[in-house]
């Protein structure tokens, strides 16, 4: 049983902790928190041992009825592997702490690629993490783009990808972020960092990305254009290729899911914890072919698509399962499969005929 410590128990850390707990071969040894607050109380109620990042605040935890199990040094020393889910940039500063205890660690996409030996996506380069002590799970947008581009590249070859990322202004709990009422080029310079970030896991892909942020907390939406090297038979063939991927969800026309709001509603109705959507959500109708040019639109749930990737990264780094084995267990334990939307091609076809 792999003992995993989670340093940084915010949007990503608390989701990854719950996902680890659902696995048969790993356990959450404890979670490290900076602030004694409602999230720390939630961690205790979830059954996690809480460790203090800042020793000076141990009394603050005690004042709200939490008795810390130790400090961050204790957690790192007692864990086999650390998940670092501290805010962007802090992870790289934490690396000497992990090195001091000779504890391998997994960083998040807010870190520069140089923070780790390998940038990771479970679908693309699982095996590359086997010899590494420090792995970076790429960001939510990069994860979504890598999952989408990998099967296209393997089947047809990607000559050039051009992506416009319409990014959520902030996560629901990030009260200080905006924009409030605007659409802001972000960054205004082209390309955005996302294209080069995709190349950290798919170095051979030629990709340009442009980003803007808009006033929503729900999801990112990508508008994608890929020039393929080989011409597919038709758009249906490409849809079938994408549908066969376990972490790509094709949204059929008949479901009447017309945006990120209905997607979130759908996830909550399906009983997904926190309304999480671990899969890329690709609008089936948007998958369109003009010669070798493929177009489509996909939504990415920024708070959760990297969660299964972190679980797989733990197994990749410790080397006890293959990529397909790990992904299958992760998918099954988390429940990655919106059964109601799968296998209904006949229904779609009937509708199209009827229309
Ligand atoms: P967050 O702010 O929600 O959570 C970070 C947590 O770390 C907070 O609880 C904070 O109190 C704590 N913290 C602060 N300083 C710390 C320190 N020195 N040591 C340990 N913990 C500390 O941030 P997040 O959104 O969970 O992001 C974490 C990482 O995941 C970042 O690299 C981010 O870029 C990446 N990421 C975020 C998203 C997203 O949309 N939220 C998506 C993918 C990847």
Compute, in angstroms, the gap from residue 13 CA to the centroid of ligand 1: 7
Please say whether the beta carbons of 134 and 107 come within 8 A: yes
| Residues forming the active site | 140
pLDDT at 327: 98
Nearest CA to ligand 1 atom 37: 12
Strand ranges (E), 215-324: 220-228, 248-251, 280-283, 288-290, 293-300
Residue ranges lining ligand 1, Cβ < 6 Å:
7-13, 32, 34-35, 53, 85-88, 90-91, 108-111, 139-140, 171, 302-303, 306
Could you report the per-residue pLDDT of 154-198, keeping only the tens digit for each?
Answer: 999 999 999 999 999 999 999 889 899 999 999 999 999 999 999
Query: What percent of the chain has pLDDT above 90?
Result: 91
Nearest CA to ligand 1 atom 21: 8
**Residues pairing with 85 in the sheet:** none
pLDDT at 355: 42
pLDDT at 340: 73
pTM: 0.95
Q: Could you give phi then psi for residue 67, rounded to 5 degrees?
A: -100, 100
Residue (of 97, 64, 69, 67) closest to 82 by Cα position: 97
List the domain boundaries for the chain: 2-138+307-334, 140-305+337-354
Q: Give the atom of ligand 1 at the shortest distance from the alpha carbon of 107.
A: 32
| Length of the chain (residues) | 355
pLDDT at 99: 98
Could you report the per-residue pLDDT of 271-309, keeping only the tens digit for each?
Answer: 999 999 999 999 999 999 999 999 999 999 999 999 999
Residue given tokens 């549908």 in the structure block: 243
Q: What is the DSSP letter of 229?
A: S
Could you report the per-residue pLDDT of 214-246, keeping only the tens digit for each?
Answer: 999 999 999 999 999 999 999 999 999 999 999
Compute, in angstroms, the gap from residue 92 CA to the centroid of ligand 1: 12
Residue (of 142, 152, 65, 156) closest to 111 by Cα position: 142
- Check whether 343 has a pLDDT greater than 70: no
pLDDT at 354: 40
Q: Give the atom of ligand 1 at the shortest distance from the alpha carbon of 173.
A: 3
Nearest CA to ligand 1 atom 32: 110
Nearest CA to ligand 1 atom 18: 90
Compute, in angstroms, the gap from residue 137 CA to the centroid of ligand 1: 13
Compute, in angstroms, the gap from residue 248 CA to the centroid of ligand 1: 25
Could you report the per-residue pLDDT of 21-65, keeping only the tens digit for each?
Answer: 999 999 999 999 999 999 999 999 999 999 999 889 999 999 999
Superfamily grouping for domain 140-305+337-354: Dihydrodipicolinate Reductase; domain 2 (3.30.360.10)
As given in the structure block, the two tokens for residue 105 are 């660690």
pLDDT at 353: 43
Q: Which of 6, 71, 86, 88 to mutate to test the pocket of ligand 1 (most atoms within 8 A of CB)?
A: 86
Domain formed by 2-138+307-334, architecture: 3-Layer(aba) Sandwich (3.40)
């Amino acid at each position: 049983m792999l003992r995993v410590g989670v340093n940084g128990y915010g949007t990503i850390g608390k989701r990854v902790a719950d996902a680890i707990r659902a696995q048969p071969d790993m356990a959450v040894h404890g979670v490290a928190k900076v602030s004694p607050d409602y999230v720390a109380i939630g961690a205790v109620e979830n059954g996690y041992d809480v460790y203090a990042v800042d020793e000076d605040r141990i009394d603050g935890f005690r004042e709200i009825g939490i008795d810390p199990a130790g400090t961050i040094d204790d957690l790192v020393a007692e864990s086999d592997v650390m998940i670092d889910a501290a805010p962007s940039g802090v992870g790289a500063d934490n690396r000497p702490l992990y090195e001091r205890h000779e504890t391998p660690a997994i960083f998040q996409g807010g870190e520069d690629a140089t923070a780790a030996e390998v940038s990771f996506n479970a679908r693309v380069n699982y095996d590359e993490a086997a010899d590494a002590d420090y792995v970076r799970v790429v960001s939510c947008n990069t994860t979504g783009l890598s999952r989408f581009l990998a099967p296209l590249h393997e089947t047809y070859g990607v000559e050039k990808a051009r992506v416009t990322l319409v990014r959520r202004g902030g996560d629901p709990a990030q009260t200080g972020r905006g924009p409030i009422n605007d659409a802001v080029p972000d960054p205004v310079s082209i390309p955005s960092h996302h294209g080069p970030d995709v190349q950290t896991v798919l170095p051979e892909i030629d990709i340009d990305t442009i980003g803007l942020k808009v006033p929503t907390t729900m999801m990112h939406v990508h508008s994608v254009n890929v020039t393929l090297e080989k011409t597919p038979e038709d758009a249906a063939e490409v849809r079938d290729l994408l549908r066969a991927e376990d972490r790509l969800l094709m949204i059929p026309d008949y479901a009447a899911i017309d945006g990120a709001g209905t997607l979130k509603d759908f996830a909550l109705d399906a009983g997904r914890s926190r309304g999480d959507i671990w899969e890329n959500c690709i609008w089936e109708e948007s998958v369109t072919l003009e010669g070798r040019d493929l177009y489509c639109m996909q939504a990415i749930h920024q708070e959760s698509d990297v969660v299964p990737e972190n679980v797989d990264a733990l197994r990749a780094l410790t080397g006890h399962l293959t990529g397909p084995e790990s992904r299958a267990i992760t998918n099954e334990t988390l429940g990655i499969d919106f059964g109601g939307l799968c296998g209904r091609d006949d229904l779609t076809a009937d509708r199209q005929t009827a229309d």
